[in-house]
Structure 1
Amino acid sequence: MTIKFRCPAELEGKIPPVPATLGLPGWLKAMPTRTFNAINMREEDTVKRSPPFVDAMTCGLLLPLICDLRVENGAITWDNDIPPGGVLPRSPSASLTKAR
């Protein structure tokens, strides 16, 4: 099977997809497999011991963004110009504004 990713020409080769296993977040790597649950007063498994959760975090490909996003007070901002001919991205759950 071949998967073809497309992007604006000026970004070609700058944002290559990476296997999800290479992009695991640090908080998941650092998470213990068991921890004390103060409500139940005993040691219990964390999501790190859940095969469906681990599969969801490690399967597929990650598509990196071309810049960092900042979420603050319900607004998403970024410090990167929109590509020529591009339009502001839309999201049904967030307001988007470009940082000045």
Structure 2
Amino acid sequence: MGLSTEDDFKQKIQDGYIVESREEMTEGYRKALIVQLTVQADTELMSAPAYWMAARYAPSTNTQVSAHAIIQDELAHANIAYRLLEDVGESKEQLVYGRQPHEFKHPYGF
């Protein structure tokens, strides 16, 4: 599929084609997917500390347990997105541990 133009590729997707591997992607599609997944993963990861603050000062045990469950969900969602980024050639280790704070991409920073 590497010889396909971006427009041909977009039309193929609009016609119902499902992209399942990196080899099937155009470079433009891959780059857009990396940006989208990075924003998603970073947003999930960045939300965990905010919930932690809420959990620490929860008025009841039930509320605290609920907040901890939310934190676990957010971190799991981040892990899924970072794992998908590995499938398109990115390093999860680099994305999580190798960037400076200002390099994280999340909507709160736009």
Which structure exhibits the higher relative contact order, with contacts defined as CA atoms closer than 8 Å and separated by 6 or more residues? Answer: 2
More helix by share: 2
Q: Could you tell me the TM-score, scaled by structure 1's length?
A: 0.30
More strand by share: 1
Q: Could you tell me the TM-score, scaled by structure 2's length?
A: 0.29
